[in-house]
Amino acid sequence: MAVITYRQALHDTLREEMLADENVFLIGEEIGVFEGSYKITAGLLDEFGHKRVRDTPIAEEGFVGAAVGAAMLGLRPVVELMTINFSLLALDQIVNHAAKIYGMFGGQCSAPMVLRTPGGGGQQLGATHSQNIELYYAFVPGLKVVAPSTPADAKALLKAAIADNDPVLFLENLALYNTKGEVPDEVAPAEIGKAGVVREGSDITVIGYSRMATVATQVADRLQQEEGISAEVVDLRSLRPLDRETIVESVRKTGCAVIAEDDWLTYGVGAEIAASISDGAFDYLDAPVRRVAAAEVPLPYAKPLERAALPSADSLTTAVHQTLEAVGHRR
């Protein structure tokens, strides 16, 4: 079992899948000669050539549309969008075409494609390059949306996404690229739509995805070591389909829940999770569900302001303490 970065896990998986299936090809801005803005595709142009690693103009609607057509004809394109913010320029192709083809053609045709794209703040890239707008896509039937938080999950979910016959939006948080984790020598495709209980606990459930799942695990470990608080951490891994069963089962066990997300609070992913908890575990709750999310402002460029606007380990810890204090748990 090797310890590698999230970035390396993505690179290795793309290479493995391209070697395994000649129908898999890459398309996107600066992924070939420049080797990708975040170097995920480093070396792949030299190995596979221009036919399978396609550099494109800065025209998201055009090259996403080309990928949709290629997928309809039997290829398996993996599109790299330089940032999820730029996906808005291809919204019509993603929402009105890729997501609708299978249903509109009565199952006779599908669009087996992956849209890889990073998002998230904390890198001082400004308000228009630092958003978490995955909710726009998790809202749409016909799309699948996954958000791995570890190198091992990134590899397993990317394998699953490439093999899937539906279009999959594959979310990568910029803050995760250099994080490291153990990855088995042989990784099987994950089950899309299955959350993971990455840390068992009995006092409270903490639910997160992508970057905030890693923050939640760190907070839970510290709370256990320093205060004896036993927090169970649920990593969603997938936003559509959403694994409501695992969420509800965990909250029924602990009786308390805090949800952590990098997007905005109002109408956010956490609101859907809270509704799911209300539907499936209301009678088991000992305190209201709390949510930790980004400040509802365009993300500032100035580092201190950007840091203050983003959810953090400290804000999550405070929410856990407030929830437990509401049920009489004393530190």
Listing DSSP states for 244-295 in one string gives: HHHHHHHHHHHS-EEEEEEEESTT-HHHHHHHHHHHHHGGG-SS--EEEEE-
pLDDT at res. 331: 57
pLDDT at res. 328: 79
Tell me the per-residue pLDDT of 74-104, one tens digit each, with 9 for 90 and over: 999 999 999 999 999 999 999 999 999 999 9
Average pLDDT, the chain: 96
Here the tokens at position 1 are 């079992």
Q: How far apart are CA 328 and CA 253, in angstroms?
A: 17
Tell me the per-residue pLDDT of 275-316, one tens digit each, with 9 for 90 and over: 999 999 999 999 999 999 999 999 999 999 999 999 999 999
Tell me the per-residue pLDDT of 28-65, one tens digit each, with 9 for 90 and over: 999 999 999 999 999 999 999 999 999 999 999 999 99
Q: Taking the mean position of all CA atoms in its chain, how far away is CA 137?
A: 11
Query: What's the burial of 260, exposed, middle or buried (CB within 10 Å: 0-12/13-18/19+)?
Result: buried
pLDDT at res. 264: 96
Q: Is the pLDDT of residue 11 over 90?
A: yes
Cα within 13 Å of Cα(203), Cβ side: 20
Q: Which residues, 6 or more positions from 293, have their beta carbon under 8 angstroms from its beta carbon?
A: 260, 261, 262, 263, 264, 265, 268, 270, 311
Is 129 one of the catalytic residues?
yes
User: What is the average pLDDT across 178-192?
Assistant: 96
The CATH number of the domain covering residues in 196-326: 3.40.50.920
- Location of each CATH 3.40.50.970 domain in the chain: 2-183
| DSSP 8-class letter at 121 | S
pLDDT at res. 327: 83
pLDDT at res. 83: 95
Neighbours of 309 (CB within 10 A): 19
User: What is the average pLDDT across 165-182?
Assistant: 97
Here the tokens at position 89 are 């320029």
With the CA atoms of 96, 22, 183 and 221 taken in that order, what torsion angle do they form, in degrees rounded to the nearest 10? Answer: 0
CATH architecture of 2-183: 3-Layer(aba) Sandwich (3.40)
pLDDT at res. 329: 73
**CA-closest candidate to residue 222, choices 328, 312, 147:** 312
Query: What's the burial of 91, exposed, middle or buried (CB within 10 Å: 0-12/13-18/19+)?
Result: middle
pLDDT band at 1 (very low <50, low <70, confident <90, very high): confident
Q: How far apart are CA 273 and CA 283, in angstroms?
A: 16
- Location of each CATH 3.40.50.920 domain in the chain: 196-326
Listed in sequence order, the DSSP H helices in 73-150 are: 91, 101-104, 134-138
Question: Cβ distance 64 to 79 under 8 Å?
Answer: yes
Q: Is the pLDDT of residue 330 over 70?
A: no
Catalytic residue among 17, 35, 60, 306: 60
Contacts 24+ apart (CB under 8 A), 294-303: 294/121, 294/132, 294/261, 294/262, 294/263, 294/264, 294/265, 295/264, 296/264, 296/265, 296/266, 298/127, 298/128, 299/121, 299/126, 299/127, 299/130, 299/131, 300/127, 301/124, 301/125, 301/126, 301/127, 303/124
Q: Taking the mean position of all CA atoms in its chain, how far away is CA 57?
A: 26
pLDDT at res. 5: 98
User: What is the average pLDDT across 156-165?
Assistant: 98
Catalytic residue among 129, 172, 261, 306: 129
pTM of the model: 0.96
